[in-house]
Amino acid sequence: MVIITIFTVGYEEVQPCHTTALRVITGLTIVAGQVTTLYVIGSILRIITEKGFQKAFADHKKIKNMDEIKNHTIICGFGRIGQTIARELKKADMPFLILDRDAARIELSEHLDYLTMEGDAGDEETLNKARISNARTLAAVLPNDMVNVFITLTARNMNPALRIIARAENPATEKKLKQAGANEIILPAMAGGLQIAHRIIRPSLLGVLDDDTTFLKNDLAELGVGIEETIVEKGSHLIGQPLATFIEGVKGLSIILAIRRADGTNSQYPSPHLILQSEDRIISLMRKSG
C-alpha cells in the first residue's frame, strides 16, 4: 500500500494479493513502470535541451568567428560558382564567409562547416555584419547580373579599398560592373568557351596546366609572364640538339615546364641535356617583353 500510494496508481488492487510473493511482484511492476516512464520523459527532455544548447553554442561560435574574421573573402551567392570558390579557398586555407538568402544553400554551406550568414548581400546592414570593412575581397557571383551590379556598387561605397570580383552572364553588363566599382569581371560562358578552344588549339599546354594550377594560370599575366608552346618543326635547326640550345636561344628568359613528344608522351621539367626531336612541343614559362 505504501508503494501504491507513493506512485499514485490507485488505492485498491484489481485482484487481491494474499501472499507476500504476489505483493512483491506487484510492487516491482509498479516501480519498473514508473521508472520507465520517467526515463522516457527524461530522455526526450534531454534531447530537446541538448539541441537547444548545441544550437545556442553554434550560434555563439558563429558570432565570435564573425567578430574575429579579417582579411577574408565575402562570397555573395552559394550556387555552383560560389561552391567552387569556397572549396578552393578552403584548400588554400584562406578565410571566407558565405553570404546568401536561400535557406537550402545556407543549410548546405553550414553542413560543409563554412562560416555562413543568411541575408541580402546588397543590404548595407548585412554587409556590415559580414565585416566588409575588414574584408580583402568580395566575390559577387549570383546568376543575376543586375543584382551583382547593385552588390558591387554597395560594397564599393562601403569599402573603397576592397577588391571586388564580379560575375557577368551578359557581356554588355561588363561596362556597368566596371562603373559600379568592380576590379575584375568574370564571364563564365566566355571563359568556358575559351578553355574549350585552348584545349583544341593547344592540347598539350592545357594538359600540363591541369595539375592543380588554377591560381597560377589566373595570376601569370599580373606577374608579367605567360605560358608558351614552341613546336620543333621539321627541318628546324633544333632537331638533334640538346634542350640547352633552345634555352640559350631565348636568352635565359624561359623556364621549361615540359616537353611533349610526337607520340604523346610527356617529360615534365626535362633535363637541359635532353635531345630534341622533330614535332616536339616545348612548353615553357616565358617572361613577356616590355
- Say yes or no to pLDDT of 217 above 60: no
CATH number at residue 95: 3.40.50.720
pLDDT on residue 204: 58
Residue 104 sits in the same domain as residue 75? yes
CATH number at residue 250: 3.30.70.1450
- Say yes or no to pLDDT of 48 above 90: no
Q: Does residue 195 form part of some domain?
A: no
Residue 142 sits in the same domain as residue 86? yes
Q: Domain ends where: 10, 43, 66?
A: 66
Q: Side-chain half-sphere of 256: how many Cα atoms within 13 Å? A: 28
Residue 61 sits in the same domain as residue 82? no
Where residue 40 falls among pLDDT bands split at 50, 70, 90? confident
Range with lowest mean pLDDT among 88-102, 217-231, 236-250: 217-231
Domain containing residue 151: 69-190
Q: Kindly report the average pLDDT of the chain as a whole number.
A: 81
Q: How far is Cα 38 from Cα 195, in angstroms, rounded to an integer? A: 66
Q: Domain ends where: 159, 190, 221?
A: 190
Residue 88 sits in the same domain as residue 40? no
pLDDT in tens, 61-72: 556 666 778 889
- Say yes or no to pLDDT of 275 above 60: yes
Q: How far is Cα 181 from Cα 165, in angstroms, rounded to an integer? A: 10
pLDDT in tens, 74-110: 999 999 899 999 999 998 889 999 999 999 999 999 8
pLDDT on residue 218: 57
Q: How far is Cα 287 from Cα 47, in angstroms, rounded to an integer? A: 63
Domain count, the chain: 3
Residue 224 sits in the same domain as residue 280? yes
| Run of H or E residues at 177 | helix 173-180
The b/e string for 96-107 (b: 16+ C-beta within 10 A; e otherwise) is bbbbbbeeebbe
Residue 224 sits in the same domain as residue 262? yes
Residue 116 sits in the same domain as residue 211? no
Roughly how many angstroms between the first and final C-alpha of the chain, as a whole number? 103
The answer to whether 74 and 123 are in contact (CB under 8 A) is no
Question: What is the CA 129 to chain-centroid distance, rounded?
Answer: 20
Residue 30 sits in the same domain as residue 92? no
278 burial type by CB count under 10 A (0-12 exposed, 13-18 middle, 19+ buried):
middle
243 burial type by CB count under 10 A (0-12 exposed, 13-18 middle, 19+ buried):
buried
User: Mean of the pLDDT values across residues 17-35?
Assistant: 81
